[in-house]
Every structure is written in structure tokens, then in C-alpha cells.
Structure 1
């Protein structure tokens, strides 16, 4: 089972990468760095929350794991 701290760190790192990518996409789509940043921030908050919940649910599912 994965610890909550590990899940949290993984989610934060993943969302930093996603924030950078989404900021670029938002800027390219709108032509505005500030609007692109707001879009990216909203996306990051939603994505972070969903990813963290997803990881925690899967950490409790035993299917597909090998027991040593």
C-alpha cells in the first residue's frame, strides 16, 4: 500500500508538469498569458484533486498486485 505522503508528492510533481503544459496551451489558445494562467490554475486544482483521489482508491485495490 502506498503512503499518503507518497501519493501527495506524486500528485504535486505531476501537477507542476501539467500546470506548465496547460499554461502554454492556454496562452496559445487565448493569446493572453494571464488568461492562460488562470485556465491552467483552475485545471491544475481540479486535476490535482482528481489524481489524488484516484491514487488513493487504487492503493486500496489488490487486483493485479503480486504478493511477495
Structure 2
């Protein structure tokens, strides 16, 4: 599971995470997903507000967008890390 890959054991060593030497660690993918989603969510918030004129509706749309697309991006990144094409 993702959490197992991110958590350290009591001795500070990586848990049973199998390191992928050719790509980045999952924690980097999480950081990239969060930073990109912040940018994307601000864009969604602005567009939703311009279309609806309602802050509450725009914030609701942006909140749902933030969560769902962050997970999609994370798994998209991990899959692309397994593809050797273009490396």
C-alpha cells in the first residue's frame, strides 16, 4: 500500500518499500501531485466562480476536483515511472 511505502520503521529505516532505482520515490510523486493540484484547484476555483458567480459553489467544485485529481495524478505518475520509453 502507498502508506507502507512512505512510513519509516522504528529504527528510521525504510519499511518494506522496494526502491525503484530508475525513477523517483513515491513521496516525490506525492509532493508533485499536491503542488500541481494546488495550481489546478486555484484555476478550477477561478473558472467555477466566473461561470457561477457563487463562491460556495466554486469552492465545492474545486474541493472535489482537488481530491479526485490528486489521486489520479499520483497513480498516473507511478505508472509512467514503470515505462522505459523516453528515459
Q: So what's the TM-score if we normalise by structure 2?
A: 0.71
Structure ranking higher on relative contact order (CA contacts 8 Å, 6+ apart): 1
Unaligned runs of 5+ in 2: 1-22
Aligned to 2:27: 5
- Residue 25 (structure 1) shift: 0.7
Query: Which 4+ stretches in 1 moved above 4 angstroms?
Result: none
Structure 1 or 2, whichever has the larger Rg, is: 2
**Separation in 2 of the partners of 1:60 and 1:53?**
11
* TM-align CA RMSD: 0.8
Is it true that 1:32 corresponds to 2:54 in the alignment? yes
Q: So what's the TM-score if we normalise by structure 1?
A: 0.89
Aligned length: 65
Structure with bigger helix share is 1
